[in-house]
Amino acid sequence: MDTAIIRTEKLEDHDKVHALLVDAFEQREDEARLVERIRRSEGFIPSLSIVAERDQDIVGHVLISKAKIMNGAEAHEVLALAPVAVHTDMQKQGIGAALIKEGLERSRALGYDLVLLIGHPTYYPRYGFKPARQFGIDLKQYEVPEEVFMVYELAPGELGKIKGELIYPAPFFE
């Protein structure tokens, strides 16, 4: 990746991030609206909304926000990575990788144990994501194949301890 700056999103970036998300997701606004809803929610962590900037333009974005794993009445706060986007003209240059790695490092530094996502089964494993169900973490809110529901362990040993159902918060469904 050459000359992209990875930094925390600022308020003045919001319109550019919206345009980037529409571009990256084939002119659909679903992901851009999801980001807007998450920003207004209790699950929003400003330092985990990260952009890649090149020549004063936003060319990539990743958002990691709060979710929870429920095991009966027991709740464990975790993180959900969604979405990640790179401008169509800038893909395959390492920008997405830089954003994901930065997001995972920041998540670890904040003291979280796990990051979960629904994503491409050959892309995310290169960063250490593994199929979540094999570790006793289920997903019922979305019907997805086993290999696309993945987890990343931020704190060693947590995958063996935290079990239950991932619950995405309300902004994912509004």
Over residues 114-163, the pLDDT tens digits come to: 999 999 999 999 999 999 999 999 999 999 999 999 999 999 988 889 99
* pTM summary value: 0.95
Phi then psi dihedrals of residue 15, to 5 deg? -65, -40
Report how far residue 133's alpha carbon sits from residue 148's, in angstroms, rounded to the nearest whole number.
10
Alpha helices of the chain — where are they, by DSSP H?
Answer: 14-24, 30-39, 95-109, 158-161
Residue 2, pLDDT score = 59
Over residues 28-77, the pLDDT tens digits come to: 899 999 999 999 999 999 999 999 999 999 999 999 999 999 999 999 99
CB contact set of 50 (below 8 Å; sequence gap of 6+)? 6, 7, 8, 9, 61, 62, 63, 99, 102, 103, 106
Over residues 12-38, the pLDDT tens digits come to: 999 999 999 999 999 889 999 999 999
Residue 23, pLDDT score = 93
